[in-house]
Structure 1
Amino acid sequence: MKRNIMRTVSAAALSTVGLIGIGAATADATTATPDVPHAAADDSAAPAEVGLAAAKFYFFKDDDRHGGYAYVTGSDRDLRNNRWLSGPHKGRTIDNGTSSVNNTTSHFVVLSDHPGSCVGPHYYSNAHSSDNDLSNNGFDNKASCVTFR
């Protein structure tokens, strides 16, 4: 009896999720959310995203979240293998090239200066925050390691 009740409740919950679209993720470069800027004509800003897909830590080549972007969804101890996804530096490594960031995750994120060991100077990003100029923190063009906590 308990199993039948649980199956019924689970089926109702799944039906409700499907009807109202909870958990659906879409990408549209022409629409912006408060956390992620819209893509400019030169595709230098991150695309707007909705729902679970927005839980990313974005790196931007230039101040004010411009010049190209890249992102991670979890810790990465060596950013030398990550590439800019847009902008004039598309395809080049993001290592030591980040000037602004946008944290759309619910995690505290730490950027470090040295790949692999993640030691040296650090930059701290609170969950759901952004920084349009890392030079005011002494961390412009220094990110080589990212740790989610």
Structure 2
Amino acid sequence: MKRTIALTISALTLSAISVVGFGQAAQAAPCGYNFCLFEHDNFRGLSWQTITEGNCENVAANMNNKASSMANLSNDRVWFYNKRNCVGPDGYQARQRSEDKDLTNNGFDNKTSSIYS
């Protein structure tokens, strides 16, 4: 009897953890790397994902000047540039551990060509 109760409590605890975990994941951007750009608002459409390494990186050709949302899951600030090879002034800065569901309000919607972290 004690064993049955213990197994039932363990199963209920795991179920509760799964539900809480699912709720939290549903609110976060679907990004498996340190940094992600998304083609559309609200983390939808095509995506470009990378690991921030402290250097300039060009956005993939299929996402060049098409990013409308981003998730920066890294511990680094990321600077966005509207030209390849991080040339010219940066147009937007993403704080570490931040998300932006719509880059329009920052004046950098569909403009990112390269990033620096």
The TM-score, its normalising length taken from structure 2, stands at 0.68
Matched, 1:33 2:25: yes
Q: CA deviation at 1:109?
A: 0.4
Question: Structure 1 unaligned runs (5+)?
Answer: 1-30, 38-45, 84-92
Q: Distance in 2 between matches of 1:102 and 1:58?
A: 5
The gaps in structure 2 that reach 5 residues or longer are: 1-21
TM-superposed CA distance for 1:69, in Å, is: 1.6
Instruction: Please tell me whether residue 78 in structure 1 is matched to residue 58 in structure 2.
Output: yes
Give the match for residue 69 of structure 1: 47
Larger strand percent: 2
Contact (CA 8 Å) 1:112, 1:123: kept in 2 or not?
yes
Give the match for residue 73 of structure 2. Answer: 104
C-alpha deviation, 1:76, in angstroms: 3.8
Q: What's the offset of the Cα at 1:99? A: 0.1
Q: For structure 1, which segment, 69-78 or 102-111, has the greater mean C-alpha deviation from structure 2 after superposition?
A: 69-78
State the Cα deviation string for residues 3-39 of structure 1 (Å, max 9, x = none). Answer: xxxxxxxxxxxxxxxxxxxxxxxxxxxx5637743xx
Equivalents in 2 of 1:132, 1:141: separation in Å? 13
Amino acid of the structure 2 residue aligned with 1:66? R
* Displacement over 6 Å in runs of 4+: none
The structure in which a higher percent of residues are helix is 2
Deviation of 1:119 after TM superposition, in Å, equals: 1.4
User: Does the 8 Å contact 2:86/2:116 carry over to 1?
Assistant: no
**Aligned position for 1:135:** 104
Matches within 5 A, 1:5-16: none
> What amino acid is the match of 1:113?
N
Aligned residues with identical type, % of pairs: 24
Count, aligned residues:
93
Q: What does the per-residue CA deviation read over 1:41-86, in whole Å, with 9 as the maximum and x for residues that have no partner? A: xxxxx35x5xxxx5x111000001111222111244322xx26xxx
Show the counterpart of 2:83.
114
| Structure ranking higher on relative contact order (CA contacts 8 Å, 6+ apart) | 2
Residue pair 2:38, 2:48 contacting (<8 A) in 1 also: yes
Deviation, structure 1 residue 102: 0.4
- Corresponding residue of 2:36: 58
* Distance apart, 1:121 and its partner CA: 4.8
Q: Does 1:144 align with 2:108?
A: no
